[in-house]
Every structure is written in structure tokens, then in C-alpha cells.
Amino acid sequence: MSSSSSWMLGISISPSLWTYMAEIVPILALIILALHWISESNILDLAHFLKGFGKNSIPRTVYAITLVQLSLLAIVPIFSKEETSNCRGSLFVKMMSILSACSSTIIILQGKQGALVALGSLLAGYCMMRLQGIEKHTVSGTAGISILGPLPVLQWSLLAVCLLFASGHWCAFDGLRYGAAFVGFDEFILIPQAILLTIDTFGFSHILSVFGLPLFVAFPSPFNQTEHKSLFPIKLFWIFMVYGLITAITATATILCVTIQRRHLMVWGLFAPKFVFDVVGLILTDLLIFVASIYYFDGVEDRIGNAKLRRLW
């Protein structure tokens, strides 16, 4: 008798099915992105066919795929409680799933530069992970380390700031890319346009950065294979806490600067927009950390507890 909720509801969910969907759907989204870029260029004769069809249909299809992926990531864990002893691998799969679900919409809103920014962020993250693994091995002299220092999280936060400017934004109201709000839409609708503009502005610097934080824990490295699985929740909590603290300190420093320079001639043109962006970024970061904590911590403690019970039994 199965104890999962999917058995109680009479729903049979095959893990391999969701694995295939997680692999195929992002590839499908990338193919649609390529068609969208072809429709905006003069490459091949296919562009003439796609110019009229792909202007609104292709972006909306990408948005729909993103919503379907996010819905599956939220619903599937409710009906399917997977028990695995490989907490690192499970965490890595969950991280890649949420990043692939969000990245397609962010890239299409960014335009042709979105793919380059995404590639740059991947390369930067990979280099940071490799350097962190080498540093662990050099300092400790043994495989595995129990404490993660705040320096990698600080570097990740600086990378997020760089991604904000690399994606064509700056801390000013005229730095908002208002055209991104109309990708896939010809008419003005307040809620969809506001959501798209928010995703375009804070996509790389906040959304992907927060959900990519578990990379420090889940990244497979030959230097951290002997870590005990009970350390994963502690490390996740530590990473999210340090990242939120760094963001809060940055916003606090901005508030102090605005307070000191409140009578400055350029207070409304320079300091006030920076204050607004940092405060909105702080609120968004806290919300994303809350959502990411629910997403990543769901089932981690259960798997660790079940493994301990099986050993005791």
C-alpha cells in the first residue's frame, strides 16, 4: 500500500514521465525562442512567414509554457513524494527545473541580448563554483567541508548587480525598458504589462539569482562528495540568510545616503530613483527567498528523517 497522496487520489504519476517533460519542454521553449528571433530578422525566407504569425503568438506560447512548467513544479510534489538518498542530486534537479522554467520568459523579454546575458551568468556561476571547490580543497586539505563562508554569496550578489546593468537597465526611471511590457501584446492591459515589466527588470538580477543560490550546495564537485546529507538544510538556510542580509545592508546604506543628501540638488534625479530601486529590490528579494525556501526545503527534511528512521529500524 502506498502512503503517498497520489495513491489516495488514485493518480499514478510516473517519475520518468516528469523527467522527460522537464527535459523536453525547455528545449521546446528554446526552439520557439529561435523562431521568434528569426521572425525579427531577415534570415532565410522563413522570416517572411513568421513576421505576421510570430509577433504575438510566439511570445504568448513561451509565456504559456512557463506557466505550465511552474504549475507542474508546484503541483507534482503534492501528488508524488519521491524518496531518494541523493539529496544533492534531487536539489540540483529542482534548481535546474525552476531555472529552466523562468529563463525562457526572461530571455524573450530581454531580446537578442538575453541569450548572451544568460550565457555569461552561467559561465560566471560555473567559475565561481569551481574556484570555491578548489579553495575548499586547498584550505581543508580533505574532501568535504561543513561550513560555507559568506564570500561566495557576496560574489553571487555582486554578480546579480552586474547582471542588472548587463541586461540594459540602470537605477533610474528612464532605465526601465517599457517596450518589454508589450512583447506579445499590442494593446495596453495593466496587470500583464506590469508583470512583464517587472520580470524584464528584475529577471536576471533577482529572480534567477535567488533561485540559483542552491548552486553552492547542489553543484557536484569531487571535493564535497563526503558531506553528510543533514548539512544540506543548514547550508540552504545559511545561503538564503546571508544573501538576504547583504541585500538589506545595501538598501540600508542607500537609505542613509538619501537621508544625508536629502537637500541635494539632484536628490530627485539621482538618489531617489536609486532608493526606490533598492527598496523594491529588497522587498522582491525577501518574497523570492520565502518562495524559494518553500520550494527547496519541501521534502528535504522528510527525506533525511525517513533515511534516519530506516537506519534505526
* pLDDT > 90: percent of the chain: 22
pLDDT of residue 225: 53
Q: How far is CA 71 from CA 47, 68, 79, in A?
A: 32, 5, 13
**What is the pTM (predicted TM-score) of this model?**
0.79
In a domain, 155, yes or no: yes
pLDDT of residue 269: 79
Matching residue, cell 509565456: 63
* Count of domains observed in the chain: 1
**pLDDT value at 187 more than 80:** yes
- Which range scores top for mean pLDDT: 118-122, 126-130, 239-243? 239-243
Best CA proximity match to 155, nearest among 191, 181, 129, 183: 129
- Which triple of cell numbers denotes residue 35? 523562431
Q: What is the pLDDT of residues 130-160, one digit of tens each?
A: 777 655 555 554 444 445 678 889 999 999 9
Say if CB 118 and CB 163 are below 8 A apart: no
- Which range scores top for mean pLDDT: 18-22, 229-233, 267-271? 267-271
In a domain, 195, yes or no: yes
Question: Domain limits at 145?
Answer: 83-312
In a domain, 172, yes or no: yes
Cα distance between residue 36 and residue 58, in whole Å: 6
- Which triple of cell numbers denotes residue 118? 544568460
In a domain, 219, yes or no: yes
In a domain, 297, yes or no: yes
**pLDDT value at 308 more than 50:** no
Q: Minimum mean pLDDT among 80-84, 257-261, 270-274: which range? A: 80-84
In a domain, 2, yes or no: no
pLDDT of residue 197: 93
Q: Kindly tell me the burial class for residue 6, based on how many C-beta atoms sit within 10 Å of its own C-beta (0-12, 13-18, 19 or more).
A: middle
In a domain, 189, yes or no: yes
pLDDT of residue 158: 93
pLDDT of residue 112: 78
In a domain, 105, yes or no: yes
Q: What is the pLDDT of residues 84-123, one digit of tens each?
A: 556 777 788 888 889 988 888 998 898 878 888 888 888 8
C-alpha neighbours within 13 Å on the C-beta side of residue 28: 16
